[in-house]
Structure 1
């Protein structure tokens, strides 16, 4: 009797795979990949954030104004009154012969509405570009927040868009007020770095000047990050912004204070080098999120495209700012609209209830299959047990997050898996009733049953794909477990049990007791 066959070998390898890779999750060992529990199972923080999309429009206009200023300086064009006001950029060009150069430069920037009267320019974003900018600000916020949380070290954060400008953030495992505050600060920090020239000519008057007066000179008044009474008068149009940053790392100064070293890309390094060469003896304000962290004197041209931010950081604050700078600044700030803390006790109750349903459902299935199909029921139960191990192993290896709907999906998968064996056993019994041999009954039974099984599983799999594509976080968890469960159940219920029957075919035929093997009267 040939015991091992191709199908049985694959089935046994699958069982070993399932047991080995599901063991760390089942036994909660210190090694190996484990199934990540979602917010509803282990507790954590749920937040609804709103993106201020109007700020993204203003930020883009300021970036365009920065480009205009650099182009003018680089090409030695004389412009005057460069300001950003009322969602438009205003400036005038002093030499009419240079208009062609400026027009050519502006035409290279897509999505602009340009109004020109003599030497006066008014540059605005087109209505289509405003819509695109707002849309992109939300998409960028989702990606930026997700990157920050990944670098922060939180396992399996959920960051998804909701509606036009809202974002849902779920952070499983956040249990202490300190962790919650650190996560909220990291998410909400705009991390908008700007290098801005100090207006040395009017700096002495900053304490007597109003914001309106500063605007008239193309300036803005900013506070010092450590002393709100200390003011700086800086040029409104920045020299550089955080979009040119390629890296930011925490370091320590000679006095052992945490600082942040940042590195600019090639374009930023060139702009930085050109500006410092022309501004020796003046000051450069390093501004982060609208506050001045330092304003060092420029003693010589600074090449290499690197800089330093110091401002009385703690080590944790410096680390969070460095993460925010590396992951990119938010184009628009975000507001906390709703916050819910999910306690671990609720998750424990959910896990307990789900495990009761899983275990009791499995026991009832086992008893029914053995009672109704006898030894064929035992074979189906072996396949069902293997299906559970393989399913947990795949979820753990892929790093998927198991939520309460996901556990419901696992329980539903058990029903679908045993349904396939019921169909197979009934088809075998039908052929046996005609008086056919055991070999023919088993082979015909699988051949006849596989069509119905494949039809049901394929349609369910397609529905699961749609649920994953268009559903929210909870629905996605359900769709993932159902999809994996369909594939594993087809492996165990069709290929696995067929391999077992082929291995013991001669023994079943020798017994000549169909009732003992298949429950046939």
Structure 2
């Protein structure tokens, strides 16, 4: 086991050199981070550091040149507890989606029942609780036929838990058909709503140029959001915004009476920039934000901040036909249940693009365009927990973690040297390479380092020499049995190998379980622990052995003292 071919030596030292090279940028963290931010801005992106984003072109190039372009520039991302930032725990109001789904079914139900109006009579939608659709027919004696038509609209649920179930259920209540979502469809809708909410929150946060946010589901209806480097929880809430639900409605009237009498299928919404003014709108929108493909911050013809938007082909066609048929009529642009603008249609608007004006600031138009581009949240978010961690506290955590690493590292180095002499020095060289490999791997995969992650590194430092201790103790036993130096070392590695593998595999399994079942800081600990186990085994079995093999080949000692 002490003989290494040339290609094996090249591979082992090459991997060590690569790991050290990838770890080097972390020794110049601030300089590399500023250079990376400047390169992002120069390439047309958004910098996480506002100071970098405000620089001119020449300043940006100077900052970008702080770090050589030929050197690796990936860094270990610092988590919320190390950099400071904002923490939010939000509950998604999944039940809000049920009412929208039932509202969407109305047109399908109406079309299906109209096909047999002569049989079932007139059809009229009546008020219903959220999550229900109620339709009254004038010939209740034909209720069975009407229910048959409605049930024909049901679709099978394509999920394992909902196999064999349909998405809607219909029953009779006198002369009224009551349509509701099935329990299996509610569960499937909840899962879809959570997945969509996660993706949209992630898009909104990512578009603002923030660094390595943690956005993940917790429980059935909660989302954990942690964004390092952001100023406060309020700033993060502003960035995520509300549902950003954009709709376009025909205007039926304008009033100052918030209790104005409404006709069926009408809604009353306040004007965003006029206190005490309300608009009476048709409840069913002409088009929605689902037709939106792009939005950007702009200025209107009066040089006021506004948001430009562009619709997809379907939305552009509907928008064009509506404006062509309603010239001279007001048209309300509604954002999150508030009329932000209600212009009069002056002419046919083709091309599917327009502009949203209102009493906006430049910052508001930027945030709004981000929210619209990311899409509307399918349901409202209720913030259950919010916390801001200042950068000073983060720096204290870094200092404490660094001190713990230095103390542990130094103690292990001293212990190994006092216990095993020259062989302890060989193990110490491998331990230094091991720590560099951990940081190199963390940088390469873009992992986020948290305070528990530092604890994982400290634990790994202690565990890293376990394999060497097993080998060295085994070598001592072989020397006592009057084996020669080379043979004793070879048997030491050979007979300790199975114990090393078994011990590290069980720890690696525990790290994998922590990663799969845990969240946030627990996963950070599992990542550093898992990577540390892999690098520890590599350095103990191959690097240390290669160092000892090279020493033996050059010195050829008659006796050794372990």
5+ long unaligned stretches in structure 1: none
Residue from 72, 92, 103 that aligns with 1:62: 103
Tell me the alpha carbon deviations over residues 404-456 of structure 1, each in whole angstroms, 9 at most, x when there is no partner. 11001001111121101111222223223333333332332222222111111
RMSD value, Cα: 3.3
SS at 1:256's partner residue?
coil
After TM superposition, the score normalised by the length of structure 1 is 0.87
Following TM superposition, by how much is the alpha carbon of 1:155 offset from its aligned partner in structure 2, in angstroms? 0.8
Work out the CA distance in 2 between the residues paired with 1:319 and 1:279. Answer: 31
Tell me whether 397-406 or 276-285 shows the greater mean CA deviation: 276-285
Match of 1:391 among 404, 418, 438: 438
Partner of residue 426, structure 1? 473
> Which TM-score applies when normalising by structure 2?
0.81
| Residue of structure 1 aligned with 2:266, choices 205, 214, 219 | 219
**C-alpha contact (below 8 Å) 2:485/2:557 kept by paired residues:** no
The 3 A distance-change label for structure 1 pair 421 and 393 is same
**d(CA) in 2 for partners of 1:72, 1:285:** 31
- Change in Cα spacing, 1:425 to 1:476, as seen in structure 2 (3 Å) is same
Residue 334 (structure 1) aligns with: 381
Q: Is 2:561 the partner of 1:512? A: no
Q: 1:21-100 alignment to 2 at 5 Å? A: 21-28=22-29, 29-30=31-32, 31=67, 32-65=73-106, 81-82=124-125, 85-87=128-130, 88-91=132-135
In structure 2, relative to structure 1, the CA distance for the partners of 1:79 and 1:27 (3 Å cut) is farther
Contact 1:432 1:438 (C-alpha < 8 Å) held by counterparts:
yes
Q: Aligned partners of 1:403, 1:90: CA distance in 2, in Å?
A: 53
Query: How far has the Cα of 1:347 moved from its partner?
Result: 2.4
> What SS class does the counterpart of residue 374 from structure 1 fall into?
helix
What is the aligned partner in structure 2 of residue 195 from structure 1? 248
Given the alignment of the two structures, is residue 484 of structure 1 paired with residue 531 of structure 2, yes or no? Answer: yes
The C-alpha deviation readout for 1:327-362, integer Å capped at 9, x for no partner, is: 221121112222222233332332222222211111
Tell whether the 8 Å contact from 2:155 to 2:168 is kept in structure 1 after alignment: no
The counterpart of 1:454, out of the listed 491, 501, 505, is 501
**1:154 matches 2:210:** yes
- Aligned equivalents of 1:410, 1:337: Cα separation in 2: 33
Q: Hey, what's the Cα distance between the residues in 1 that align with 2:257 and 2:397?
A: 62
Structure-2 residue corresponding to 1:231: 278
Q: How far apart are residue 278 of structure 1 and its match?
A: 4.2
2:123 counterpart of 1:123: no
Task: Flag the 1:116–1:298 CA change in 2: closer, same or farther, 3 A.
Answer: farther
Within a 5 Å distance, the mapping from 1:343-422 to structure 2 comes to 343-422=390-469
Q: Which sits farther off after the overlay, 334-343 or 376-385?
A: 334-343
- CA contact under 8 A between 1:191 and 1:330: conserved in structure 2? yes
Q: How many residues align?
A: 504
CA contact (8 A) 2:250 2:282 kept: yes
Aligned mates of 1:439, 1:418 — CA distance in 2: 21
Establish whether residue 210 from structure 1 lines up as the match of residue 259 from structure 2: yes
In structure 2, distance between residues paired with 1:274 and 1:122 = 34
Q: 8 Å contact 1:11–1:492 — kept in the other structure?
A: no
Structure 1: distance between partners of 2:148 and 2:371: 37
Task: Describe the SS at the equivalent of 1:113.
Answer: strand
Asked whether the equivalents of residues 312 and 352 of structure 2 are also in contact (C-alpha less than 8 Å), the reply is yes
Separation in 2, partners of 1:209, 1:363:
72
Name the CA distance, whole Å, in 2 between partners of 1:338 and 1:470: 22
Given that 1:7 and 1:499 are in contact with CA atoms closer than 8 Å, whether structure 2 keeps it comes out as: no
The DSSP-based 3-state class of the residue aligned with 2:465 is helix
Instruction: Trace 1:247-266 onto structure 2 (pairs within 5 A).
Output: 247-266=294-313
Listed as ranges, the gaps of 5+ residues in structure 2 are 33-66, 68-72, 157-165
